[in-house]
């Protein structure tokens, strides 16, 4: 059998106890909210970098089909505000063997740029590709 509360009082929390509990909860949430906000902005930055990397991969895949592998430049912009630029130049020839093949090695530099929160972001990719002379 449970003990009965003293006469005139009911079991439960007083108003001051509830107010103190809410004050503690408010301080704890106030300390955690900036951390949560920083995490969300970090996720947004990573998503934009991931999208830029996907655009770079797509542009590299287009070399030799949409973008000819020869010395020169190509650039464009996506519908969602990313701009890309591909610069292709001849790689220095290797002096070890004479070249009898109709292929040449080209150096490819690709950049993808975007703006996030008024600040510019950019990634760079460098690679080499074979192309016709």
Instruction: Domain ranges for the chain, please list them.
Output: 49-132
pLDDT for the residue numbered 95: 64
pLDDT in tens, 54-104: 999 999 999 888 888 889 999 999 999 999 999 999 887 766 556 667 788
Listed residue (71, 68, 59, 70) closest to 111, CA to CA:
59
100-to-56, 97, 107, 130, 132 alpha-carbon distances in Å? 32, 9, 20, 14, 12
- The distance from CA 15 to its chain's CA centroid, rounded to whole angstroms, is 49
pLDDT value at 2 more than 60: no
pLDDT for the residue numbered 9: 63
Percent of the chain's residues with pLDDT above 90: 45
pLDDT value at 41 more than 80: no
Q: Are 69 and 129 in contact (CB under 8 A)?
A: yes
Please give the Cα distance from 52 to 43 (Å, whole number): 14
């Amino acid at each position: 059998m449970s003990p009965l509360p003293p006469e005139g009082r009911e079991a439960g929390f007083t108003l001051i106890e509830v107010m103190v509990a809410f004050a503690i909860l408010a301080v704890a949430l106030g300390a955690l909210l900036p951390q949560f906000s920083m995490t969300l902005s970090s996720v947004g930055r990573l998503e934009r970098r991931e999208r830029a990397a996907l655009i770079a991969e797509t542009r590299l895949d287009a070399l030799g089909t949409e973008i000819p592998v020869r010395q020169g430049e190509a650039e464009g912009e996506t519908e969602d505000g990313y701009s890309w630029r591909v610069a292709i130049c001849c790689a220095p020839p290797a002096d070890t063997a004479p070249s009898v093949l109709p292929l040449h090695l080209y150096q490819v530099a690709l950049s993808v740029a975007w703006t996030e929160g008024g600040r510019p972001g950019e990634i760079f990719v460098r690679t080499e590709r074979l192309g016709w002379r």
